[in-house]
Amino acid sequence: MSDYYSSVCLTSVKASVLELFGMEKSEGDAASNSIIMEKFGGRPIDRAVIYNPDAVALWVYMKYTEKFAAAHAVSDLSLPMLSVMPSVTPVCFASMYTGVMPEVHGIRKYEKPVLSAETLFDRLLAAGKKCAICSTEGDSISKIFLERNMDYFIYDTEDEVNAKAFELIEKGEHDLIVIYNGDYDGFMHRNGPEGEDSLAHLDKNIAVYKEIVERIKKYRKGERVFYGFCPDHGCHEIDGGCGSHGLDCEEDMNIIHFYGISEG
């Protein structure tokens, strides 16, 4: 690959969602994503659903673009994004949902403490909105955002997580739903980013995202709902045909996000 880093950091996600809800970003947050705001700004959104698959790199998208056909079909925008260092899961999701760099929010290595820094969840809860996290047990998203007055649906498997997320979308009781799937990352570590099982789980992640969007459009008619496919970092192959991440290199830092909006 050429020496290339995306110019848009995932720290912009928090401010973008707040602005779409008609709220101001917090002092010290990264600026909202001007591309997202140009595309989706205007009337405030009613809800947001953010799907967080793990470790989907930009280079994987570029090499296997046809696998992302369904993601393109249900999205209005695809954006190369930049992760943060170290490019490991708790650090990256902390930056995504606090809107600040690791040296500010405090998670600077692979550890999973409860964040004390202000998050997207805190801002929405303070505004009287209802938030939910759907995640697998023990993963970063199930741990670093705990101790808040919101709903946590934590399960053993991705299938259980996704079934609950589909149910929450149908019920329409939450203003923000965040859904985490770590299966591609797990298989990537064992079998490499391009291993047969790894790519099968990438296909599954894209199918889950498609199902999320289809359910939003079916059950949230009459509402303006923002949604996204938002991985945390990329990945690269290491010796032995396994996969890894955490480096300041293009493969780990460049990721692909998809966004869309349902106007009801």
Residue 19 corresponds to which amino acid? E
The answer to whether 31 and 51 have CB atoms below 8 angstroms apart is no
| SS3 of residue 203 by DSSP | helix
Asked if residue 7 belongs to a domain, the reply is: no
| pLDDT string in tens for the chain (264-residue length) | 457 899 999 999 999 999 999 999 898 999 999 999 999 998 999 999 999 999 999 999 999 999 999 999 999 999 999 999 999 999 999 999 999 999 999 999 999 999 999 999 999 999 999 999 999 999 999 999 999 999 999 999 999 999 999 999 999 999 999 999 999 999 999 999 999 999 999 999 999 999 999 999 999 999 999 999 999 999 999 989 999 999 999 999 999 999 999 997
In a domain, 3, yes or no: no
The CATH number linked to 44 is 3.40.720.10
Find the domain containing 157 and state its range: 12-262
In which residue are the tokens 């002092």 written? Answer: 27
CA 70, chain centre distance (Å): 17
CA 226, CA 264: separation in Å to the nearest integer?
Answer: 11
Element counts in the chain: helices (H) and strands (E): 12, 9
Tens digits of per-residue pLDDT, 229-255?
999 999 999 989 999 999 999 999 999
Q: The whole model's pTM is what?
A: 0.97
Residue 56 placed within a domain: yes
| Within a domain: 28 | yes
Of 119, 108, 65, 54, the closest CA to residue 86 belongs to 108
pLDDT tens-digit series, residues 69-119: 999 999 999 999 999 999 999 999 999 999 999 999 999 999 999 999 999
Q: Number of folded domains in the chain?
A: 1
CB atoms within 10 A of CB 46: 16
- Residue 159 belongs to a domain: yes
Task: Give the CA distances from residue 98 to residues 12, 27, 49, 164, 261, in Å, rounded to whole numbers and listed in that order.
Answer: 9, 11, 17, 25, 22
Six-digit token string for 243: 């996969």
For residue 59, being part of any structural domain is answered with yes
The number of residues making up the chain comes to 264
Q: Establish if 2 belongs to a structural domain.
A: no
